[in-house]
Amino acid sequence: MIILIGLGNPGEKYKNTRHNVGFMAIDAFAKQNNLADFELQKKSNALISKNEDVVLVKPQTFMNESGKSVKQILSNTNSSNLVVIHDDIDLPIGKIKIVKERGSAGHKGVESIINNIGNDGLIRFRIGIASPHKTEAIKVVLENFSAGEQKILDETIQKVVSALDMYIKDGLDKTMNEYNK
């Protein structure tokens, strides 16, 4: 079983912000693969959708506390095959990068996960959200995308969904070779 964790912040206020591209990618993956509706799992404080092969997770903690939810999810399963999908301010919009066992690079959600479960074997799909307008990270991650950026993001989300499908079918190496260009 593979656990795909999309990072974001809960609530309508944050729904379309740059910090929520992890949620957006998980939602698109669920829709494209006809997975069940997300249901709140109170014990792990996360929205969960699953089938026999894949579990999709959207932690309902705020970004900086994502690791608490992820730790609880992992305590309820025997799977060590975990992928985290999240925004990355160091990548331009339209770019994705797949990494394994890398540091958080200052991403507070990833840092929380690493602090709670470690980094051994941790695979991450990083989605570029860089804004040319602001340099202060907190302002960038909480802003919405412009219309032009949204068009690029929509295409990027579809690329992430295709990369996740490839990862599930063909493994990490082939997926990294295909999408880390």
Which are the catalytic amino acids?
19
Residue among 35, 66, 34, 31 nearest 48 (CA): 35
Cα distances (Å, whole numbers) of residue 117 to 26, 120, 135: 21, 8, 30
What are the start-end ranges of the H helices in 39-142? Answer: 66-75, 108-117, 137-141
Burial of residue 31, with CB atoms counted within 10 A of its CB: 0-12 exposed, 13-18 middle, 19 or more buried: exposed
